Amino acid sequence: MTLETLKEELKTAGLATLFFLCCFLIVLVLKKLFLAQYDIGFYGLSAAVLGAAVVGKVVVVLDKVRAGTRFEASRPPYVSVLYKTTVYSAVVLLVVTAEKVFHAYRESDTLRIAITEVWHGRDRNHILATVLCIGLAFAAYNLLSSINRRLANGRLAAFLLGKHDAE
C-alpha cells in the first residue's frame, strides 16, 4: 500500500465519519429537545462520536466489497442506494437488538425473557427509532456517494462548494 493510497483511504474514511457525525449530532439535538419538554436530561455526545467513527469506517469498507458494489454497474443508481440502505439498516437492527438483548439477559439470566422484555418493552421503540434515524443517514450517504461516483470523484463536492470547472 502506497502513501498516496493510505492518504486517500484516510480522507474517504474521515469524510464519511464527518458526514455521519453531523447526522448523529442532528439526531442527538432532536432527542435532547424532545426530552427537554419532560424535564429529562440526556447526554449522548460520546455515543454519537463513537457511533460515527464506527459507522463511517464500516460503510467505507462495505463500499469496497462485493456486497456493497453488487448493483452499481448493472442497475440504475437508485437500486444500489436502496439495496445498500436496506442491508446496512438490517445490520444496524441486528446489532442494536443484540446489544439490548445482551443487557436484558445479564439482568434476567434467561434468553427468552430477555428477548421478550426487549421487544415488548420500551426498548422496541428505541430500537426502531435508532434504526430509522441511522437508516436515513445511510440513505443520504449512499445517494450522495452514488451521485459523486456518477459525476466522477470530487465533482459533487466542487459543485456543492461552488467551485465550477472552466468548461
Domain co-membership, 75 together with 43: no
Domain co-membership, 45 together with 92: no
CB 131 within 8 A of CB 93: yes
Residue 80 domain flag = yes
What percent of the chain is modeled with pLDDT above 90? 29
Distance CA 133, CA 26 (A): 10
Residue 132 domain flag = yes
> Which domain covers residue 95, as residue numbers?
63-152
- Tally the domains of the chain: 2
Residue 115 domain flag = yes
Tell me which residue has cell 439495496.
Answer: 83
Q: What is the pTM of this model?
A: 0.82
Mean pLDDT is lowest, of 51-55, 63-67, 80-84, 107-111, for 63-67
From its phi and psi, is residue 20 left (phi > 0), alpha (psi between -120 and 50) or beta?
alpha
> If we measure between CA atoms, which residue out of 126, 67, 116, 115 comes closest to residue 91?
67
For residues 78-100, average pLDDT? 90
pLDDT band at 166 (very low <50, low <70, confident <90, very high): very low
Domain co-membership, 135 together with 112: yes
Residue 138 domain flag = yes
